């Protein structure tokens, strides 16, 4: 997969651009990068133009500061898409990528054709979650490698940890490439993100929630509640937070249906 870069606010922002047709923009999650989409791109790119973007402080995109807010991230994504002269697109965001997708939908609603939240939520961090973010930041400052080694397996169901041990190892290796500053800046940004359920309620474009029934990070009932009255299609998979690995075939089929 060929990687391209643009200069954004004096830093390098990295992305891939594959295929021709309607534009689909894929935004990865925390501690991930564009490689998380590699298995999905070939199928989607048969009839579409697929763009993946490394978020601030992740993959080959450099750090912008000590806090990367969801708005900072959305503005960087917009700059990449503007550099490609794209006006309207389908946005798909995994976890952190979903938070950024919602910030993007608030800031630039006219550019969005459809929106998909994959293992993500429109709600802000709870008090308890904010405390956990601070604990995580302290841990990263001491030993980022330990933090990553503990954080990644916790995203999967217990069953998946055995079944996808090779894939989990790859996710870990990619996560370890994330700089300490990049990890902390994202944790700080996620901790202060705002409630964006109003974006789901007020925007008229087509919306899709993809959730894992056993997602250890997200409460299924809360997601179903967010979708009420917001004209959102909900698709539930059987596993955890990493649907692109734990339910790869179902995810591919679901995204293809949503896009066409």
Long-range contacts of 235-238 (CB under 8 A, 24+ apart): 235/208, 235/209, 235/210, 235/211, 236/210, 236/211, 236/212, 237/210, 237/211, 237/212, 237/213, 238/212, 238/213, 238/214
Per-residue pLDDT averaged across 165-185, rounded?
97
Q: pLDDT value at position 203? A: 87
Q: How confident is the model at residue 4 (pLDDT cuts 50, 70, 90)?
A: very high
Q: pLDDT value at position 230? A: 85
Query: From the CB of residue 161, how many other CB atoms can be counted at a distance below 10 Å?
Result: 15
Structure confidence by residue, pLDDT tens digits, 122-162? 999 999 999 999 999 999 999 999 999 999 999 999 999 99
| Sign of the four-CA dihedral 216, 221, 224, 229 | negative
Q: pLDDT value at position 212? A: 96
Structure confidence by residue, pLDDT tens digits, 71-96? 999 999 999 999 999 999 999 999 99
Q: Is the pLDDT of residue 106 over 90?
A: yes
Structure confidence by residue, pLDDT tens digits, 203-242? 889 999 999 999 999 988 999 999 888 889 999 999 999 9
Closest CA to 123 of 212, 216, 221, 25: 221
How far CA 192 is from CA of 52, 68, 74, in Å, comes to: 25, 10, 15
Q: pLDDT value at position 260? A: 85
Q: pLDDT value at position 229? A: 82
Q: pLDDT value at position 231? A: 87
Q: Is the pLDDT of residue 27 over 90?
A: yes
Q: Is the pLDDT of residue 110 over 90?
A: yes
Q: How confident is the model at residue 55 (pLDDT cuts 50, 70, 90)?
A: very high
Quote the mean pLDDT of the chain. 96
Closest CA to 16 of 43, 53, 44: 53
Domains identified in the chain and CATH numbers: 3-259 (3.40.50.1820)
């Amino acid at each position: 997969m060929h990687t391209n870069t643009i200069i954004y606010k004096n830093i390098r922002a990295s992305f891939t651009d594959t295929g021709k047709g309607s534009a689909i923009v894929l935004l990865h999650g925390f501690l991930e990068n564009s490689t998380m989409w590699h298995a999905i791109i070939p199928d989607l790119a048969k009839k579409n133009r697929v763009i993946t973007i490394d978020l601030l402080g992740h993959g080959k995109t450099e750090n912008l500061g000590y806090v990367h807010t969801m708005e900072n991230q959305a503005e960087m994504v917009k700059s990449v898409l503007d550099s490609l002269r794209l006006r309207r697109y389908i946005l798909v965001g995994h976890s952190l990528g979903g938070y950024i997708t919602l910030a993007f939908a608030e800031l630039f609603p006219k550019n969005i054709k459809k929106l998909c939240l994959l293992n993500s939520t429109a709600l802000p961090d709870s008090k308890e979650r904010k405390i956990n973010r601070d604990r995580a930041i302290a841990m990263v400052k001491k030993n980022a490698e330990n933090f990553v080694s503990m954080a990644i397996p916790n995203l999967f169901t217990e069953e998946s940890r055995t079944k996808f041990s090779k894939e989990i190892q790859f996710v870990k290796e990619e996560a370890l490439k994330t700089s300490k500053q990049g990890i902390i800046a994202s944790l700080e940004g996620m901790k202060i993100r705002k409630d964006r359920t109003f974006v789901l309620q007020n925007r008229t474009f087509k919306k899709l929630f993809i959730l894992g029934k056993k997602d250890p990070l997200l409460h299924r009932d809360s997601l179903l509640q967010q979708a009420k009255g917001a004209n959102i299609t909900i698709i539930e998979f059987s596993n955890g937070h990493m649907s692109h690995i734990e339910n790869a075939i179902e995810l591919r089929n679901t995204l293809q249906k949503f896009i066409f």
